[in-house]
Structure 1
Amino acid sequence: MNPSPLVHVLIINWNGLEHLQDCFESLLSSPYSNAKFILLDNATDDDSVAYVREHFGNDPRVDFRLLDENLGWSRANNEGMKAALDAGADYVLLLNNDTRVEPDFLDKLVEHAESDPEIGALSPRILMFDDSQIINSVGLEASIIGSGWDRGIGRIDSLEWDSNEAILGVCGAAMFLRTSALQESGLLPDDFEIYLDDLDLCLRIWNSGYTIKLCYASVVHHKFSATMGEGKRARHKYYLNTRNRSRIVLRNFPSNQLLRALLTIDFAEAKAVGRAILDGDLWKIPLHLRSWIDFFLYIPKAISHRRTHHPRTASQDLIRNRPLFFPGVVFPENGWYPPIDIDGAEYRPMAKTAEYEHTGGKLRIRIANPHKNVAHTEISITHSDDTIATLDDEKFSHAEFDVLAGTITFRANAIISAEQSGLLHDVGGWISIETDSRNIA
């Protein structure tokens, strides 16, 4: 019987002590035997290493790679991947420390990858850490100007995403890579610093003749942060995203697509600068100028890279012409999206499930559906595990009852997709909640 493929799981860490218990406890619940769970520590100055040694170090699958300085995400992961290649690993999983995995996540990834030797990388289904009904990433998408974003971000998780179709790339929070593909594509770019480096590697995997897919059955929960930060941090992030978009195109787009992409970049840059002026974000303008200077300085290095890696057209069908930039995302809070007006009344869109903390007393609930032409909505309402009402937008759209204090849970029996509604997010229904004293939709 052939042994299970060897997998090196690299848990990159820098002063991430508060995340490591969830991460390692979940990893060690995996029944997959031929794996090494390696704390890839970026010269942290908290007690991360000591904590993992004390609490998990007795497990023979746990190992450490301690770096002498903080190399950042790409360079540190490259050090871990080099060691994995030297050790004869068949696969490498890059994993952020602020994650929790399902017990069978690794088995599912290996099983999927072993089923098709042309798969160079797999994306697990990455869900929000504190709201697992919402997707963080089921792959990467990118536009013709090199802008990249998480596929499915902010959408409701459902079997609609379970497809064997190829995807463009894999989010760096949980990135499963075949080492033979890495030997041909090379590792992460060491001059991006951060942002879009995962996309760059994925495009080179495509250019090396491999494909990339989603492994929907493998589940990772991630503490995603959508914030830009503040001050210098926000400005630096904006600059790196702007600069690295051009590098993505220069390094990886095939010659027959390059001119069109560069012309579109010119248009997108003019649009971005114009928007910055209109919005009063004048601090963005020198960052764009700086990125343009970098664009020209980077051309010789990009030419050298292209001679080695030979960009192909294989992934170009997955590159989007529109939108040019990340279209945005809206996350629910306790299952609720910001309120909207429907026929003069305030309603709150909900995700698949939503919760309301009731203080007790009379409750009036109404549902509406501004998109009846595309789908029907039906909402089950429970309190203390008892169903107190089922409302639909056609026959029974409102109810009134006395309810004891406690959590009231709303569950949608169908979902109106973002494609159907034209919104940025999916919706299970639109709800108005009133008590004797106020409307709390």
Structure 2
Amino acid sequence: MPAPVTTTVLVVTWRGIGHLGECLDALAAQDRPHRILVIDNASDDGTADLLAAHPSAPEVLRLPRNTGYAGGIAAGLSAVDTPLVAWLNDDAVPRPDWLGLLEDALLAERGLAAVGCRLERADGTAQSVGVRLTADGHGADRTGGWPAFGFCGGAVLLRTAALRAAGGVPAEFFCYYEDTDTAWRLRLAGWRIGVLEQAVVRHRHGASTRPGSVAFHRWNERNRLLMLLRCAPARTALAQLARFAALTAVLPLRRGRPAAANFRLRLRCRVLAEVLGRLPATLSARRAIGARAALDRGEVLRAWAGR
């Protein structure tokens, strides 16, 4: 009799023909049975043919448009019927014991809602071993030291019921910060989050989104502010929004400003417009998060900020 399947692995892809096959090969080699659901964000590069031909025979949810990583995970979550759900980037290659180690760790402690892992670059150096909370309340990759506040969404295992009860995944983020936002909400609900460094994934960071690009900085800056407005203490969120707006206002007067895309006036104005345009929905989400919370926002920030 086959072992029961405890985990659905959600793999979000968009034009992933150059790397998705290696990800699926690694999932097929896992030492723990699981369900694979690939969310295809309307790829037009032959990804559909790759999925149809792959020996692992993954289930596929093909979306009519590109909804990003956050949108793909949100869409896939609605089809999950297992007690655990994994998020996995299509450019991530987990070791064969990855899923088994995460399942054992998560199921061993009832208070854990999620367990992250170690994401490595091709040379074996750490890209992320969880996420730390900065002094102003947003997330940054952690490579050691203080216990992690949250997880890197590129490879993580969560309790399905806890994730749904905390509000699921913010599909409107498209990509970036959906993981730290989720960690904030789980922490506010009273759950704990762990990271198991023995569970290792090799990751080609940014295979689809090109870190450093204009789009990358737009999503990153916008979602950082939206996450704070949704999850952080009001004083922290408003201070960061005001700081972003003030810096944007004085940029034309500054000489020798950095060349990075997130210091371009047009991009920053677009970020502010998108944040303000989404403010009613964001404040509605904030109220819902507060209604579900078991802990005070300030209590969570004081416990984790700057660690």
Normalised to the residue count of structure 2, the TM-score between the two structures is 0.85
How far the C-alpha of 1:223 sits from its partner, in A, is: 0.6
1:68–1:267: structure 2 CA closer, same or farther, 3 Å change rule? closer
Contact 1:57 1:63 in 2 (8 A): no
Contact 1:170 1:202 in 2 (8 A): yes
Contact 2:5 2:35 in 1 (8 A): no
Structure 1: give runs of 5+ residues left out of the alignment.
Answer: 153-160, 322-441
What residue is the counterpart of 1:136 in the other structure?
127
Give 3-state SS (helix, strand or coil) of 1:56's partner.
coil
The 5-angstrom pairing of residues 180-191 of structure 1 reads 180-191=161-172
Deviations 1:284-336, CA, capped at 9 Å, x for gaps: 12333343344444433232112211153353221229xxxxxxxxxxxxxxx
Partners of 1:7 and 1:93 lie apart in 2 by 7
How far the C-alpha of 1:80 sits from its partner, in A, is: 0.8
1:289–1:136: structure 2 CA closer, same or farther, 3 Å change rule? same
What residue is the counterpart of 2:229 in the other structure?
250
What residue is the counterpart of 1:119 in the other structure?
112
The residue type equivalent to 1:95 in the other structure is: L
What residue is the counterpart of 2:264 in the other structure?
284
Contact 1:12 1:40 in 2 (8 A): yes
The residue type equivalent to 1:266 in the other structure is: A
The 5-angstrom pairing of residues 31-180 of structure 1 reads 31-33=31-33, 35-57=34-56, 62-84=58-80, 87=81, 89-128=82-121, 130-132=122-124, 134-152=125-143, 161=144, 166-180=147-161
Kindly indicate which of the two structures has a greater share of residues assigned to strand: 1
Contact 2:113 2:191 in 1 (8 A): yes
1:266–1:28: structure 2 CA closer, same or farther, 3 Å change rule? same
Greater Rg over alpha carbons, structure? 1
Equivalenced residues, count: 296
Partners of 1:56 and 1:237 lie apart in 2 by 33
Contact 2:91 2:207 in 1 (8 A): no
Contact 2:113 2:162 in 1 (8 A): yes
1:198–1:51: structure 2 CA closer, same or farther, 3 Å change rule? same
What residue is the counterpart of 1:318 in the other structure?
304
Contact 1:181 1:208 in 2 (8 A): no
Contact 1:146 1:248 in 2 (8 A): no
How far the C-alpha of 1:143 sits from its partner, in A, is: 2.6
Give 3-state SS (helix, strand or coil) of 1:100's partner.
strand
Give 3-state SS (helix, strand or coil) of 1:120's partner.
strand
What residue is the counterpart of 2:13 in the other structure?
13
1:266 equivalenced with 2:242 (yes/no)? yes
Deviations 1:165-217, CA, capped at 9 Å, x for gaps: 75222112112111111121122112222221221112111122211110112
How far the C-alpha of 1:38 sits from its partner, in A, is: 2.0
Partners of 1:112 and 1:214 lie apart in 2 by 9
Supply the RMSD in Å over aligned alpha carbons: 2.9
The residue type equivalent to 1:193 in the other structure is: F
Give 3-state SS (helix, strand or coil) of 1:83's partner.
coil
Partners of 1:267 and 1:69 lie apart in 2 by 34
What residue is the counterpart of 2:279 in the other structure?
299
1:26 equivalenced with 2:26 (yes/no)? yes
Task: Decide which of 236, 246, 256 is 2:215's aligned counterpart.
Answer: 236
1:296–1:272: structure 2 CA closer, same or farther, 3 Å change rule? closer
Structure 2: give runs of 5+ residues left out of the alignment.
Answer: none
The residue type equivalent to 1:77 in the other structure is: I
Give 3-state SS (helix, strand or coil) of 2:30's partner.
coil
How far the C-alpha of 1:24 sits from its partner, in A, is: 1.6
Contact 2:136 2:305 in 1 (8 A): no
Moved over 6 A (4+): none
1:198 equivalenced with 2:194 (yes/no)? no
1:210 equivalenced with 2:191 (yes/no)? yes
Partners of 1:289 and 1:39 lie apart in 2 by 35
Give 3-state SS (helix, strand or coil) of 2:171's partner.
coil
The residue type equivalent to 1:315 in the other structure is: V
Partners of 1:224 and 1:151 lie apart in 2 by 15
Partners of 2:54 and 2:240 lie apart in 1 by 52
1:172–1:71: structure 2 CA closer, same or farther, 3 Å change rule? same
How far the C-alpha of 1:110 sits from its partner, in A, is: 0.4
Contact 2:115 2:158 in 1 (8 A): yes
